[in-house]
Amino acid sequence: MPEDQAGNSARRRAPFGARLRAAMDARGPLCVGIDPHPGLLAAWGLNDDAAGLEHFSLTVLEAVGERAAALKPQVALFERHGSAGIAVLEKLLAACAESDVLTIADAKRGDIGSTMAAYADAWLREGSPLAADSVTLSPYLGYESLRPALDLAAATGRGVFVLGLTSNPEGASVQHVGGDRSVAARIVDAVAAENAGELPLGSTGLVVGATVGTALADLGIDLEAANAPILAPGLGAQGATGRDLQSTFGGAYRNVLATSSREILQAGPDKASLQAAAERTLEGLPRA
């Protein structure tokens, strides 16, 4: 795409936070992960190759794209197939854009300087074959190391989701420390500053595990004040329920994008079964 056309397209696009808010209000707060694990491919009767990957991914889009506020392809499960897998991911992202389905590239990128700028260019630049509506980022080289991605996302009407408080046991050894103000709390503070004045919802989101329990309260973290979309993995197969999300996130629950992968994907390959699984999951998510 010529540079002037790319710039005009970026200017016409509403901020990611506004687009996500509209999708959540219209469809409900469900994000479906596209996680083509080898075991799931086998369960669907597909080969663990690029052809199986493409059939799996596009079937999920066709089945649940109109029922989810966003789809979240797990980048590593495409990368494991090399260039052929990346080509499938490019095709999936383009198909989602064509179908007006928001995407979150779950890449968890994080680096410094020109390398971070290159990651931003790959996932957030207008015209990039890997451009998604948003991408997950790791801030553990310092929040400001993400600046190239934060600035490019703002310039192109895209978004990011910054790892804030994850539910894996090892996360606490980094995220919970920091004296009077934990590392996780400082990340949330930085995201809140990024989103200041952005309505109806900021475009700089947070990843907070659905199964973190009382950690938010224990660490004194106010997610509601962050004005951030909250990507909450852990619904379904990992044990969290809609009521758990309401209890964990409190006043910020309205901004929670609840993520389910295996619970829905294991219903495939039949599209009607996938649709029914997504609808059951949505029914279990209380509306804010």
Q: What residue segments make up the domains of the chain, in order of their start?
A: 3-283
Handedness of CA 261, 266, 268, 271 (dihedral sign): negative
With a cut of 90, say whether residue 3 has pLDDT above it: no
Predicted confidence (pLDDT) per residue in 52-94, tens digit = 999 999 999 999 999 999 999 999 999 999 999 999 999 999 9
> Rounded distance, CA 167 to CA 122, Å?
28
Active site includes 108?
yes
pLDDT band at 236 (very low <50, low <70, confident <90, very high): confident
User: pTM for the complete prediction?
Assistant: 0.94
> Rounded distance, CA 97 to CA 184, Å?
32
CATH code, 3-283: 3.20.20.70
Residue-level pLDDT at 12: 57
CB atoms within 10 A of CB 98: 9
Predicted confidence (pLDDT) per residue in 109-159, tens digit = 999 999 999 999 999 999 999 999 999 999 999 999 999 999 999 999 999
How many Å separate Cα 40 from the centre of its chain?
A: 21
CB burial string 191-209: b at 16+ within 10 A, e below: bbebbeebeebbbbbbbbb
With a cut of 90, say whether residue 101 has pLDDT above it: yes
